[in-house]
Amino acid sequence: MFDYVFRNATIIDGTGSEAFTGDVALKDGRIETIAPLIESDATEVVDCVGKTLSPGFIDMHSHADAVILGYPRMESMVFQGITTFVACQCGHSIAPVGSLWEGSQALYHLYHAVSGNLYADMYGGINYSSSEKIIPLIEKEFGFSPRWESMGEFMDEVDAKGLSGNMITLAGYNTLRLINADPDKKTFLTDKQKDIIKGQIRECLEAGAFGMSTGLDYKPGIFAETTELIEMAEVLKRTGGIYFSHWRKTGLRSGTPKKQKKINGIREAMDIGLANDVQVQISHISNGYDVYPSRDDDVHRFVAEKTLAVVDGYHRKDVMYILM
């Protein structure tokens, strides 16, 4: 006897096969049988005529780690069919927590309550505040206390609270640099700082993180040079971790930044992966070359193909990549 049988659904099984009509039976939270007709009894039978049944979707780019303890049922995702999300992107991660707190996207309104000038701060490159100021606001609004000092402690909190879906975490490099070095100016990390950050990346990976993410268009990630990132990403090679990057595209979003060649940001991400023989995921992929006039579709198509040709060149050197 099954717990549930979903009858007469249009089934997309995720293998690339054509959709087909059939039944799906579940027992103890797992799929037991998929067949054109399941005649066994079930505690509950769900009529799925006119509905499609498929594996859950994966959201490859999310910042939901910042609030998942406040919304463990994941309603906004589950209602869209998303059952797994990759959090801690763009260099931001909710763990570990230090003396400074990043103003990640899901907490902008709380950051504004502390800073008083949300847009001037966030787009002016100042994207952090005192943890002691913002944590009480999080405790009041969401009912959890982000005072953990490691990714493992954060994951223990998530496990204790429960989660309706699956969360993939990353070591947020901007967060690690923020709590270990001067976040306001370009500085080179000392050997001691490097050792501490490498240890924190390692701890994140041991706690289950799939890799490390960077955000290179805003402080403090913008201060990390390629050689530094190559050295830090070396930790990933030992565990099979992936390098995820919000690549250098716009430069520091403050005033009138010096224009950079966008394609170099894509090359940098691939160079980091190639140097360490690790997989690379490039977030927010777009043309690597500026286009003027901007509405010329033929020119846009040409530079898109030229951008992908650069990526393909790295791929032929055996760098694995995912474009988003």
Position 24 scores a pLDDT of 96
- From 3.40.640.10, 3.40.50.720, 2.30.40.10, 2.20.130.10, which CATH number describes the 2-53 domain? 2.30.40.10
Q: For the residues of 9-53, what is the DSSP string, one character each?
A: EEE--SSSPPPEEEEEEEETTEEEEEES---S-EEEEEE-TT-EE
Query: Average pLDDT in the 277-297 region?
Result: 88
Can you give the residue ranges of every domain in the chain?
Answer: 2-53, 57-323
Q: What pLDDT, on the 0 to 100 scale, is given for residue 113? A: 81
**What gap in Å lies between CA 14 and CA 16, rounded to an integer?**
6
Does domain 57-323 bear CATH number 3.20.20.140?
Answer: yes
When mean pLDDT is compared across 114-128, 179-193, 245-259, the lowest value belongs to 114-128
- CA 109 from centre of chain: 20
CA angle (144, 148, 151) in 5-degree steps = 110
* 77-to-95, 140, 166, 169, 208 alpha-carbon distances in Å: 22, 24, 11, 16, 22
- Supply angle C-alpha 285, 224, 210, rounded to 5: 60
Per-residue pLDDT tens digits for 232-267: 999 999 889 999 999 998 877 655 555 668 899 999
Q: How much of the chain exceeds pLDDT 90, in percent?
A: 67
Please list the residues that pair with 175 across neighbouring strands: none
